[in-house]
């Protein structure tokens, strides 16, 4: 038995059984199996696909990924082959992926999301879809993830298109202000979300002081990596305490996880599983290291299962 087959790390996400709680985040692990040459996918809990849209997208011109002192700035612009090519060319590969595959969906209208969800729902190899709601709503002008009413409508419509497939909603950290993350999360749950992923990248910008131009062709982008980790811990904690624990809706924590203790922090804050993204660019084998470290943490804390740690942060210092 390798440590990442450790049965104590088995995780249940709304009825989906994962071998461990370490998941590869959307957009950082290819369409489904591209990392297989450098990372044994049978040792991760699941992989999330790149966000798939109704139509193909080429995304933004370069530069669209730029390193910062504590993470990455990206404005990929949702480059992806679109759902028709996904169904023709990627779906046939899914049965050979040795872990669970979660289908990420993006769109600019409710109908777009529902269309892609309906197609993914026909794939038995995809037990859950994850809605990337950090996308501008062309009809409403704001992001889906910032407006509880619009998000409620989106989640309810997608829910109606799904059969057995679980529905995961990946919230946008823009909801840090008002309405807050808890209100947005509550709307998603009320509309039928089975799982919440918290959170996507944080809007950010960098400037090259020599050329005096923005470092990204898109001018602004999303910040990920170690810089965002404490923000993710707070958002997971807020939503767990504010709504998810009572509603018994599991949270997947994501943001700056690069070692087992980052993952453990999100689990203590209330996450039942974690996703890793930016670290994969520097160390694609990091998920194996993180899963092993979580096993050793359970030993040191004398706790029998990883589920026993969810939300177990103690009060005060």
Ligand X SMILES: Cc1cc2nc3c(=O)[nH]c(=O)nc-3n(C[C@H](O)[C@H](O)[C@H](O)COP(=O)(O)O)c2cc1C
Please give the residue ranges that form the binding site for ligand X (CB under 6 A): 25-28, 50-51, 65, 72, 74, 76, 78, 104, 132, 170, 200-201, 224-225, 228, 254-257, 276-278
Q: Which residue out of 126, 135, 239, 274 is catalytically annotated?
A: 135
Smallest distance, ligand X to C-beta of residue 212, A? 25
| Nearest approach, Cβ of residue 31 and ligand X (Å) | 10
208, burial (CB in 10 Å: exposed 0-12, middle 13-18, buried 19+): exposed
Distance (Å, whole) CA 213 – CA 206: 9
Closer of 176 and 303 to ligand X (Cβ):
176
Residue 209 or 275 with smaller CB distance to ligand X? 275
Of 61 and 308, nearer to ligand X (C-beta) is 61
Q: Cα–Cα distance between 76 and 179 in angstroms, integer?
A: 27
Task: Identify the CA nearest to 271 among candidates 24, 11, 4, 7.
Answer: 11
Q: Which is nearer to ligand X, 233 or 306 (CB)?
A: 233
Active site residue 135: yes
Closest distance to ligand X from the beta carbon of 72 (Å): 5
CB closest to ligand X, residue no? 27
Q: Which residues contact 267 (CB under 8 A, 6 or more apart)?
A: 21, 253, 274, 294, 306, 309, 310
Report the residue number, 36 or 66, with the smaller CB distance to ligand X.
Answer: 66
Query: Which of 100, 78, 108 lies closest to 32, judged by CA?
Result: 100
Closest separation between CB of residue 71 and ligand X, Å?
6
Nearer Cβ to ligand X (8/285): 285
Query: How many residues can be counted in the chain?
Result: 317
Burial 143-174 (b: 16+ CB within 10 A, else e): bbbbbbebbbbbbbbbbebbeebbbbbbbbbb
CB of residue 145 to ligand X, shortest distance in Å: 10
**Secondary element (H or E) of residue 294:** helix 286-301
CB 106: neighbour CB atoms within 10 A? 25
Query: Side-chain half-sphere of 145: how many Cα atoms within 13 Å?
Result: 26
CB of 70 to ligand X, least distance (A): 10
In angstroms, the Cα distances linking 36 to 42, 160, 205 are 9, 34, 32
> What residues form DSSP beta bridges with 208?
213
Which tokens is 243 given? Answer: 């709504």
List the one residue out of 55, 166, 163 whose CA is nearest residue 102.
166
Q: Active-site residue numbers?
A: 135
């Amino acid at each position: 038995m390798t440590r990442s087959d450790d049965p104590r790390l088995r995780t249940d996400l709304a009825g989906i059984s994962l071998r461990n709680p370490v998941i590869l985040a959307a957009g950082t692990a290819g369409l489904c199996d591209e990392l297989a040459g450098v990372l044994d996918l049978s040792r991760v809990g699941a992989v999330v696909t790149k966000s798939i849209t109704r139509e193909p997208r080429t995304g933004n011109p370069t530069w669209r990924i730029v390193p910062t002192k504590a993470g990455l700035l990206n404005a990929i612009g949702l480059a992806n082959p679109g759902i028709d090519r996904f169904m023709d060319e990627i779906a046939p590969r899914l049965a050979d992926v040795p872990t669970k595959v979660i289908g990420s969906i993006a769109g600019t209208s409710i109908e777009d999301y529902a269309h892609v969800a309906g197609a993914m729902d026909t794939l038995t190899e995809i037990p859950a879809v994850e809605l990337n709601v950090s996308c501008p709503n062309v009809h409403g002008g704001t992001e889906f993830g910032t407006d509880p009413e619009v998000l409620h409508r989106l989640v309810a419509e997608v829910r109606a298109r799904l059969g057995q497939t679980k529905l995961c909603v990946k919230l946008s950290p823009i909801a840090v202000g008002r309405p807050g993350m808890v209100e947005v999360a509550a709307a998603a749950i009320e509309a039928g979300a089975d799982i919440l992923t918290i959170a996507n990248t944080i809007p950010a910008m960098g400037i090259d002081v020599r050329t005096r131009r923005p470092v990204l062709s898109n001018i602004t982008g999303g910040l990920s990596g170690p810089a965002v980790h404490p923000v993710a811990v707070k958002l997971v904690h807020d939503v767990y305490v504010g709504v998810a624990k009572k509603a018994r809706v599991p949270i997947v924590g994501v943001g700056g996880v690069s070692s087992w203790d980052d993952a453990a922090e999100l689990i203590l804050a209330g996450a039942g599983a974690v996703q890793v993204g930016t670290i994969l660019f520097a160390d694609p084998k990091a998920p194996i290291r993180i899963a092993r470290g979580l096993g050793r943490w359970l030993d040191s804390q004398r706790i029998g299962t990883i589920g026993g740690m969810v939300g177990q942060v103690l009060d005060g210092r």
